[in-house]
Amino acid sequence: MPNITDVAILGATGSIGTSALNVIRLHPDRFNVVGLSAWHRTEALAALVGELSPRIAAVSTEHVDAFRAQFRGTGGDVTLLGGSAGLKAVAEYPRADTVVAGISGAAGLESTFAAVDAGKRILIANKEPLVMCGGLLRKEARRSGACLLPIDSEHNAIFQCLPEALQQSVANGLGVRGTDNGTGVERLTLTASGGPFLRTSAADLRQVGPKDALQHPTWDMGPKISVDSATLMNKGLELIEACTLFGLDETQVEVVIHPQSALHSVVHFSDGSLIGQMANPDMRVPIAYGLAYPERIASGVHGLDFMTLGRLEFESPDSERFPCLELARAAAREGGSVPTALNAANEIAVQAFLAGRLGFCQIPVLIRDIMDHHNKVSVKELGQVLEIDREVRQRASKMLADGIPAS
Ligand SMILES: NC(=O)c1ccc[n+]([C@@H]2O[C@H](COP(=O)([O-])OP(=O)(O)OC[C@H]3O[C@@H](n4cnc5c(N)ncnc54)[C@H](OP(=O)(O)O)[C@@H]3O)[C@@H](O)[C@H]2O)c1
C-alpha cells in the first residue's frame, strides 16, 4: 500500500488543474487533495471544494467574499482566502507534500516561488516563472531542498529520458551541467506541433482572430498557451524553460516541427544515441508521471497505436511567418532580465489579441519593440523581477494605446 501524498493544486479550475484532478481521482488510495486555488471561476472551485474537502482554498480578492458566502452555514472546516496572500498560503500549506503549479502566466510567479521556498515537491507546468527568473528559482530550490519536477510535456519527456542521477540533479536545481562533464547529454530537441496556422500563408495570417488561434490541432489547453502555440512563442518560452531547467545553453536546444505531437522531445547523447518519449498528446501522462515519480501509475490515457499513427513527420520552423520563436531564442542568448521583458510583453500582447485589440502579426512587433528598448540588468531577487515585469507591462500597454504598426 503506497503512502498517501497530500497535494495542493494552484490553478485547479484550469486545463492543467483539471487534468491533474482527473489523474488524482483515479487513485483515491494514493492522493489526498489538501489545497486548491482558482481566480475568477469561484463556482467551479466551490464545486471542487465540495467534492474534495481540501483544508485551504484561495481565489482573487475581488471574489473572496462571494466565494465565502457559498459555504456559509455548511459547517465545513476549509480556510478560504483571497488574493496573492491566499495563493501563497496554498503553495506553502504545511500539510501539502506536492504542489501542482498550474496557474497561467506570470500570475503564478509568487506562489511558485513560495512553494519552492517552502521546500515542496513542485510539479511545474506554469512555465512563465521559469522564463522570468528560472535561475533564481533553481537557486532557491538548492537552498530549500525543494524538488522541481517538470510536467510541461516536452520537459517532462526530456526528464523521463535522463538517467536517474541526472534526474536528481535537475530536480535539485543543478541541471545537467553541459556537455563536458561525462553526463553524455549533448543537446535537446524540443518538438512542436506547429499550432493551428502551420499551413496558413503569411497573407492569411494577417486576418486570423482569437477564435482561429484557440483551435489547437492536437492539444486542449487554456487560452493564453493556445495563442502562444499559434505564434510559436510557446516553443520559444519552452526553449528558455529548457535552458533553465536543464542548465544548457540555447545553442544546445533545437526546435523541430512535428505535427503529430506523438514524440514529445528528444535527448541527444554523446555516443550518437537519441532517446525520446512518446505518448498520446494528453497532459495527464506527464502529470501522472510527476505525481507518482519515480513510480509509474495509470493516467487514464491509452498508449499510442503505431498503426493508427501511421507516420512521424518533422520539419523546420518557419521564422518568417512565426518570428516569436527567434525573439525568444534571442532573449535566451541575452539572458539577465531580457526573458522577463519578453514574457511581460508577450502576456500584454496576447491579452490584447484575445480582446480583439491587436492583430496576430502585430504580437511579435510589440515584443520586438519592447526587447529593442529594454535595458538589460542581471536578475538578483524576486522583488526586482516583479518590478521589471510591472514596468514592461506599463510600457507595452502604452505602446498599445499609442498604436502598433502592422508588421
Ligand atoms: N494546458 C496545457 O495543456 C498546458 C501544457 C503545458 C504547460 N502548460 C502551462 O500550464 C500553465 C496553466 O495553463 P492552462 O492551460 O491550464 O491555463 P488555464 O486553463 O487558463 O488555467 C489557468 C488557471 O489559473 C487560474 N488563474 C488565472 N488567472 C490567475 C491569476 N491572476 N492569479 C491566480 N490564478 C489565476 C485560473 O483560475 P480561473 O479558472 O478562476 O480563471 C485557472 O485555474 C501555463 O503556464 C501553461 O503554459 C499548460
Tell me, yes or no, whether 179 and 144 share the same domain. Answer: no
Query: Looking at residue 1, what is its pLDDT?
Result: 66
DSSP per-residue codes, 326-372: HHHHHHHHH-TTHHHHHHHHHHHHHHHHHTTSS-GGGHHHHHHHHHH
Residue with the smallest CA separation from ligand 1 atom 31 is 107
3-state secondary structure of 266: strand
Torsion on CA atoms 244, 249, 252, 257, rounded to nearest 10: 50
Contact 19, 43 (CB under 8 A): no
161 Cα: distance to centroid of ligand 1 (angstroms):
26
Tell me, yes or no, whether 198 and 256 share the same domain. Answer: yes
Of 10, 13, 15, the one to substitute when testing ligand 1's pocket (max ligand atoms within 8 A of C-beta) is: 15
DSSP per-residue codes, 43-80: HHHHHHHHHH--SEEEE-HHHHHHHHHTTTTS----EE
Tell me, yes or no, whether 342 and 329 share the same domain. Answer: no
Number of neighbours of residue 272 by Cβ within 10 angstroms = 7
Residue 109's closest CA among 77, 134, 72? 134
3-state secondary structure of 405: coil
Tell me, yes or no, whether 204 and 311 share the same domain. Answer: yes
Tell me, yes or no, whether 380 and 317 share the same domain. Answer: no
227 Cα: distance to centroid of ligand 1 (angstroms):
13
| Residue 282 domain-assigned (yes or no) | no
The parent domain of residue 371 ranges over: 336-402
Place of cell 512587433: 365
Q: What is the pLDDT along the chain (407 residues), one digit of tens a residue?
A: 678 999 999 999 999 999 999 999 999 999 999 999 999 999 999 999 999 999 999 999 999 999 998 887 675 789 999 999 999 999 999 999 999 999 999 999 999 999 999 999 999 999 999 999 999 999 999 999 999 999 999 999 999 999 999 999 999 999 887 445 677 999 999 999 999 999 999 999 999 999 999 998 888 899 999 999 999 999 999 999 999 999 999 999 999 999 999 999 999 999 999 999 999 999 999 999 999 999 999 999 999 999 999 999 999 999 999 999 999 999 999 999 999 999 999 999 999 999 999 999 999 999 999 999 999 999 999 999 999 999 999 999 999 999 887 76
Q: Per residue in 358-367, is it b (16+ CB within 10 Å) or e — as a string? A: bbbbbbbbbb
| Residue 167 domain-assigned (yes or no) | no
380 Cα: distance to centroid of ligand 1 (angstroms):
26
Tell me, yes or no, whether 133 and 214 share the same domain. Answer: no
Cβ(39) – ligand 1 distance below 6 Å: yes
103 Cα: distance to centroid of ligand 1 (angstroms):
4
Atom in ligand 1 nearest the alpha carbon of residue 224: 20
Please tell me what DSSP assigns to residue 114: H
Cβ(112) – ligand 1 distance below 6 Å: no
Tell me, yes or no, whether 248 and 210 share the same domain. Answer: yes
271 Cα: distance to centroid of ligand 1 (angstroms):
39
User: Residue 227 is placed in which grid cell?
Assistant: 495563442
Tell me, yes or no, whether 234 and 381 share the same domain. Answer: no
Cβ(265) – ligand 1 distance below 6 Å: no
Residue with the smallest CA separation from ligand 1 atom 1 is 221
Place of cell 493544486: 9
Cβ(329) – ligand 1 distance below 6 Å: no
Atom in ligand 1 nearest the alpha carbon of residue 41: 40
| Residue 103 domain-assigned (yes or no) | yes
| Residue 166 domain-assigned (yes or no) | no
What order of strands is seen across the sheet that includes strand 56-59?
Answer: 79-82, 56-59, 31-37, 5-10, 98-101, 121-124, 147-150
Query: Looking at residue 181, what is its pLDDT?
Result: 60
Number of neighbours of residue 155 by Cβ within 10 angstroms = 27
Please tell me what DSSP assigns to residue 315: B
**CATH number for the domain harbouring residue 376:** 1.10.1740.10
38 Cα: distance to centroid of ligand 1 (angstroms):
9
Overall domain count for the chain: 3
Outline where 196-310 has alpha helix (H).
202-205, 210-213, 223-231, 233-246, 284-292, 306-309
Query: Looking at residue 75, what is its pLDDT?
Result: 55
Among the candidates 116, 150, 184, a domain finishes at 150
Amino acid at 239: L
Query: Looking at residue 178, what is its pLDDT?
Result: 46
Of 84, 90, 103, 131, the one to substitute when testing ligand 1's pocket (max ligand atoms within 8 A of C-beta) is: 103
What order of strands is seen across the sheet that includes strand 274-278?
Answer: 253-257, 185-192, 263-269, 274-278
Query: Looking at residue 404, what is its pLDDT?
Result: 82
163 Cα: distance to centroid of ligand 1 (angstroms):
30
**CATH number for the domain harbouring residue 23:** 3.40.50.720
| Residue 266 domain-assigned (yes or no) | yes
222 Cα: distance to centroid of ligand 1 (angstroms):
6
Contact 355, 264 (CB under 8 A): no
